[in-house]
């Protein structure tokens, strides 16, 4: 197969931990050809197929000069056996428009993973609200009075923007309510932006677990991202320590319940975040943690992903 990865610039990759790199390495090892582009390289002209300025690459195995690139060329997305959308958040207007271009490419006949419509339909924080049986007390609102009432009821809360990533913009407000007003104003931008408010889960001390779901099935190990020092956030980007662990019975239950639903909707890969027994986010844009899990457990998550990708392509005759 020839695979097109839509991603951030290759020179920004930290290949010792990058999940997209792990996917590429596994795919090339199986004989698949690789090409890359960035979202801004995609275009669509009246009466034509969706095309991109793509670069064919080969991984070298070197830690520094880790890829060789051919001259950029124009190719229709339908010419590739599979297109993998791996652009990191934020899910801003340009990301949104990219999903529309990718959906048109699907109408041309391209196979895109994760499915563009599913990316739009599953905003990573809001998506959990569909599954109340698996989440803790949660509120989405622009209204400061609603936030104050939620705090009065639950006393210890987390506030976060709906479009954040890597732990960005997350605040904890304890029983004293200190700075609740100013934090609310900062996050909701004086009532113009919605905020997610959740009851603080003390189980965060044991880690914010990333449960990966591939092809509708949970990976046997999760990565618990454990806050360090006085930090409340476990995100690796915020300095959290990643510790791989076997799934707990509850983690397995969550993965088995959500996996088939997400897969049916076109999400070949999702990252379900769990604190204690509660789902806190469902990540669908570019879930990570493949290499951390492999390095600590030997569970080859990239191989599981390429297995699922090959199975999906075989099921559709590609």
| pLDDT single digits (tens) 26-47 | 999 999 999 999 999 999 999 9
- Count CB atoms within 10 A of the CB of residue 290: 28
Residues 191 and 272 in one domain: no
In a shared domain, residues 230 and 175: no
Query: What is the pLDDT of the chain when averaged over all its residues?
Result: 95
Q: Which of 270, 302, 318 is nearest to 81 (CA)?
A: 318
Compute the average pLDDT of residues 176-191: 94
Instruction: Write down the catalytic residue from 87, 111, 115, 160.
Output: 160
6 and 107: one domain?
Answer: yes
Of 179, 200, 221, which one is at a domain's C-terminal end?
Answer: 200
Instruction: Tell me, yes or no, whether 76 lies in a domain.
Output: yes
Looking at 26, 233, 235, 292, which residue is catalytic? 233
139 near 150, Cβ under 8 Å?
yes
**Are 30 and 42 in contact, with CB atoms under 8 Å apart?**
no
Which of the residues 38, 106, 208, 273 is marked catalytic? 273
Residue for token pair 């603080």:
200
Catalytic entry in 26, 251, 281, 292: 281
> SS3 for 236?
helix
157 and 215 co-located in one domain: no
Q: Which residues of 205-234 are buried (b: 16+ CB within 10 A; e: fewer)?
A: ebbbbbbbbbbbebbbbbbbbbbeeeeebb
Query: Within this chain, do residues 185 and 213 fall inside the same structural domain, yes or no?
Result: no
Task: Note whether 223 and 195 are same-domain residues.
Answer: no
> In this structure, are 177 and 209 located in the same domain?
no
Residue 309: pLDDT band by 50, 70, 90 thresholds? very high
Q: State which residues form the domain around 9.
A: 2-114
Which of 312, 306, 215 lies closest to 23, judged by CA?
A: 306
- Are both 288 and 213 inside the same structural domain? yes
Catalytic residue among 125, 199, 208, 251: 125
Alpha helices in 30-108 (DSSP H): 93-108
pLDDT at residue 91 in the model: 83
The catalytically annotated residue of 18, 225, 235, 251 is: 225
Same domain? For 241 and 178 the reply is: no
Does some domain include residue 130?
Answer: no
Q: How far apart are CA 225 and CA 296, in angstroms?
A: 13
Q: Is residue 119 part of a domain?
A: no
Domain count, the chain: 3
What are 73's two structure tokens? 């060329």
Q: Which of 115, 210, 235, 292 is catalytic?
A: 210
160 flagged as catalytic: yes
Catalytic, 73? Answer no
Tell me which of 164, 181, 200 is where a domain ends.
200
Q: What is the pLDDT of residues 69-125, one digit of tens each?
A: 999 999 999 999 999 999 998 888 999 999 999 999 999 999 999 999 999 999 989
pLDDT in tens, 126-140: 999 999 999 999 999
Alpha carbons 202 and 191: distance in angstroms, whole number: 29
- 86 token code pair: 């791996």
The rounded distance, in Å, linking the Cα atoms of 86 and 288 is: 10
Residue 309 is assigned to a structural domain of this protein: no
Q: Is 15 a domain residue?
A: yes
Is 87 a known active-site residue? no
Looking at residue 192, which CATH number applies to its domain? Answer: 3.30.1490.20
Residue 121 lies inside a defined structural domain of this protein:
no
Residue found by looking up tokens 């959906």 in the block: 103
273 is catalytic: yes
- Encode burial over 161-182: b for 16+ CB neighbours within 10 A, e otherwise: bbbbbebebbbebeeeeeebee
Q: Cis check for the bond before 32: say yes or no (omega within 30 of 0).
A: no
**pLDDT for residue 229 is more than 90:** no
Distance of alpha carbon 225 from alpha carbon 167, whole angstroms: 11
Active site residue 210: yes
> Is 262 in the same domain as 180?
no
pTM of the model: 0.94
Active-site residue flag, 281 = yes
Are residues 158 and 209 part of one domain? no
pLDDT (0 to 100) of residue 238: 67
Q: Is the domain of 86 the same as that of 28?
A: yes
Determine, yes or no, domain membership for 318: no
> Are 116 and 83 spatial neighbours (Cβ–Cβ below 8 Å)?
no
Residue 222's CATH number: 3.30.470.20
**DSSP label of 86:** -
pLDDT of residue 232: 75
Last-in-domain residue among 152, 167, 200: 200
* Least confident residue range of 23-27, 160-164, 276-280: 160-164
Q: Does residue 21 fall inside a structural domain? A: yes
Q: Does residue 271 carry a pLDDT above 90?
A: yes
* pLDDT confidence of residue 237: 72
CATH of the domain at 58: 3.40.50.20
Tell whether the model's pLDDT for residue 267 goes beyond 90.
yes
Q: Do 141 and 108 contact (CB within 8 A), yes or no? A: no
Catalytic residue, candidates 111, 208, 283, 292: 283
Whether the pLDDT of residue 318 is over 90: the answer is no
């Amino acid at each position: 197969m020839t695979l097109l990865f839509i991603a951030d610039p290759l020179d920004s990759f930290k290949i010792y931990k990058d999940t997209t790199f792990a996917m590429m390495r596994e795919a090339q090892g199986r004989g698949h050809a690789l090409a890359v582009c960035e979202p801004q390289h995609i275009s669509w002209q009246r009466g034509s197929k969706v095309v991109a300025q793509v670069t064919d690459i080969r991984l070298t195995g070197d830690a520094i000069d880790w890829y060789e690139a051919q001259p950029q060329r124009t190719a229709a997305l339908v010419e590739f056996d599979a297109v993998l959308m791996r652009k990191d958040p934020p899910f801003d207007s340009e990301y949104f428009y990219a999903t529309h271009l990718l959906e048109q490419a699907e109408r041309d006949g391209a196979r895109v993973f994760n499915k563009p419509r599913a990316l739009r339909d599953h905003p990573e924080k809001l998506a959990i609200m569909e599954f109340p049986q698996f989440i803790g007390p949660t509120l989405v609102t622009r209204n400061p009075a609603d936030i104050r009432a939620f705090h009065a009821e639950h006393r210890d809360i987390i506030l976060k923007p709906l479009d954040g990533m890597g732990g960005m913009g997350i605040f904890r407000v304890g029983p004293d309510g200190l700075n609740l007003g100013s934090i609310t104003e900062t996050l909701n931008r004086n009532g113009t932006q919605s905020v997610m408010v959740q009851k603080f889960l003390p189980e965060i001390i044991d880690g914010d677990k990333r449960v990966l779901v591939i092809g509708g099935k949970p990976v046997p190990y999760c990565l618990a991202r454990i806050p360090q020092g006085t930090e409340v956030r476990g995100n690796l980007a915020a300095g959290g320590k990643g510790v791989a662990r076997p799934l707990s019975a509850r983690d397995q239950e969550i993965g088995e319940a959500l996996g088939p639903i997400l897969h049916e909707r076109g999400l070949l890969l999702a990252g379900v975040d769990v604190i204690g027994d509660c789902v806190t986010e469902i990540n669908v844009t570019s879930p990570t943690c493949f290499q951390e899990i492999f390095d600590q457990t030997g569970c080859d998550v990239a191989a599981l992903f390429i297995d699922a990708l090959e199975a999906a392509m075989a099921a559709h005759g590609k």
